[in-house]
Amino acid sequence: MAFNVGLLGLGTVGAGTAEILLNPELRHPLLSEIAITRVGVRSLDKPRPIELPQNLLTTNLDDIVTDPTIDIVVEVIGGLEPARSLILKAIANGKHVVTANKAVIARYSEEIFDAANAAGVYVMIEAAVAGGIPVIQPLKQSLSVNRIQRITGIVNGTTNYILTRMQREGADFGEVLADAQRLGYAEADPTADVDGLDAADKIAILASLAFGGRIKLDDVYCEGIRHISAADIAYAEKLGFVIKLLATALREPPASPEDTTDHLQVRVHPTLLPKTHPLASVNDVYNAILVEADPVGQVMLFGRGAGMGPTASAVVSDIQNIVALLKSSGRNPDELHPLLACIHEHYCTISPMDELVTRFYARFLTQDMPGVIGKIGTCFGQHDVSLESVVQIGFQNNLAEIVVVTHDVREGNFRAALADIRSLQGLAEIPSVLRVL
Ligand code: HSE
């Protein structure tokens, strides 16, 4: 007997999912045992990317999540509500759930996974992070025998596309964003992408899987790319870097042998990345995730992070995984598979940004007068900030432009030095401050 899928949403991802399930030839034979039996849509009359028998469609999404003949509910409507409530109702009705909804999972994972574990059903989220790149299953399974030290990702295609074009064309953020919106690479409201919120949802999910605990989204530092200028990209290039929006999660080493607390850093911000770094050549809309773990070393996953085909590939892989498990364990398993269920109970401790130790890049505009570079250097020195390089590049509107790269410093010390520098006579502006990997 086939496994029945109820699809909530027939937009881009829903249509891509149906396309794969309706055309199983030359794919895994398990797919031919999966049937789409109901599809929830907002309106019955809208033109759709795929033709489905009209009798499958309904505008009553509640009917799908309560339908006793459905085994797996696939939520691809996006947004927080009604997606969250429908997922919870599906779980309460004993359905397994596949969702591409990073926003819901990053905010409500405790509620959703507690409910799923109590109900004995799976909630699978491969499509929620980096679209077509298999990263959730590798973290849950093959990589989970390792001690994961660090995950560094380019997990937002829109911002990677914008930064890549700024780099290639020497253009400023605003003009590339407008063109990206015109071409359909950026949303009309680009906030979630360009302000780093989408990447923050994704790294919160990855950190939770990698480090075995829940992550409070509010603790994830999030800085977007609106303030990146063509000038910074050009200076970074001269210094041997590219600028990428990186999502990072890492486990800090214990402060002392007695310290048993797990301290994580989980953050999203634009970063100067050495051109030799494996992520530096990930361009355009592509995503990539670099996992560093013991003993496997570096593993990099690369691919398309969005779009119909890639996201549908991830959704269907989750459906197939559930079907494979149900075939071997029975449709109502007594126990969930330990590598596929999410059983985290505690929240991880995320270190405050002031404690972060990193290199910084800063650009200063100053009056062209004797001693300014010396005074800036003195302020840094007074706060224990050691400088790797100081260059006066040229002039902008009669102001001298000075670019500084520090050695590794505590972020709190660096910020304190900047506060002193801001009050220096002759200092006109600090147009940019960026972290350097
Ligand atoms: N808006 C996201 C991006 C894709 O630009 O990568 C969906 O998460």
Is there a single domain that holds both residue 75 and residue 141? no
Distance 11 CA to ligand 1 centre (A): 15
Taken in order 206, 212, 217, 218, the sign of the CA dihedral is negative
* CATH code assigned at 317: 3.40.50.720
Is there a single domain that holds both residue 219 and residue 286? yes
Contact 402, 393 (CB under 8 A): yes
Return the residue whose CA atom lies nearest to atom 2 of ligand 1: 156
> In the prediction, which pLDDT does 253 show?
83
> In the prediction, which pLDDT does 333 show?
79
Domain that holds residue 317: 3-132+308-329
Distance 358 CA to ligand 1 centre (A): 27
Position 338 in a domain: no
Q: 202 catalytic, yes or no?
A: yes
Q: What is the dihedral of CA 85, 209, 31, 5, to 10 degrees?
A: -10
Is there a single domain that holds both residue 27 and residue 103? yes
pLDDT digits (tens, 9 = 90+) for 345-387: 899 999 999 999 999 999 999 998 889 999 999 999 999 999 9
Position 20 in a domain: yes
Position 177 in a domain: yes
Instruction: Flag whether pLDDT at 276 surpasses 90.
Output: yes
> In the prediction, which pLDDT does 407 show?
98
Is there a single domain that holds both residue 157 and residue 111? no
Q: Give the position of tokens 């404690």.
A: 355
Ligand 1 probe mutation, 193, 206, 245, 308, most atoms within 8 A of CB: 193
Ligand 1 probe mutation, 77, 198, 246, most atoms within 8 A of CB: 198
Mean pLDDT for all residues in the chain: 95
Per DSSP, the three-state class of 3 is strand
Is there a single domain that holds both residue 80 and residue 168? no
Position 347 in a domain: no
> In the prediction, which pLDDT does 325 show?
94
Is there a single domain that holds both residue 263 and residue 386? no
Burial 323-345 (b: 16+ CB within 10 A, else e): bebbeeeeeeeeebbeebbbebe
* CATH code assigned at 427: 3.30.70.260
> What is the position in ligand 1's atom list of the atom closest to the CA of 157?
6
Is there a single domain that holds both residue 153 and residue 46? no
* CATH code assigned at 287: 3.30.360.10
> In the prediction, which pLDDT does 351 show?
95
Return the residue whose CA atom lies nearest to atom 4 of ligand 1: 306
Position 14 in a domain: yes
> In the prediction, which pLDDT does 383 show?
98
Is there a single domain that holds both residue 151 and residue 246? yes
Position 61 in a domain: yes
What residues does ligand 1 touch, defined as CB less than 6 Å away? 156-158, 193, 198, 305-306
> In the prediction, which pLDDT does 255 show?
78
> Which of the following is catalytic: 140, 202, 275, 327?
202
Is there a single domain that holds both residue 126 and residue 182? no
Is there a single domain that holds both residue 140 and residue 288? yes
> What is the position in ligand 1's atom list of the atom closest to the CA of 287?
6
pLDDT digits (tens, 9 = 90+) for 30-89: 999 999 999 999 999 888 889 899 999 999 999 999 999 999 999 999 999 999 999 999
The domain total for the chain is 3
pLDDT digits (tens, 9 = 90+) for 102-157: 999 999 999 999 999 999 999 999 999 999 999 999 999 999 999 999 999 999 99
Is there a single domain that holds both residue 221 and residue 243? yes
Position 344 in a domain: no
Distance 338 CA to ligand 1 centre (A): 30
> Which own/partner pairs from 116-119 qualify as long-range (CB within 8 Å, at least 24 positions apart)?
116/91, 116/341, 116/342, 117/336, 117/341, 117/342, 117/343, 119/91, 119/92, 119/94
Position 345 in a domain: no
> What is the position in ligand 1's atom list of the atom closest to the CA of 155?
6
Distance 322 CA to ligand 1 centre (A): 25
Is there a single domain that holds both residue 164 and residue 312? no
Strand ranges (E), 64-146: 72-75, 96-99, 123-124
> In the prediction, which pLDDT does 378 show?
96
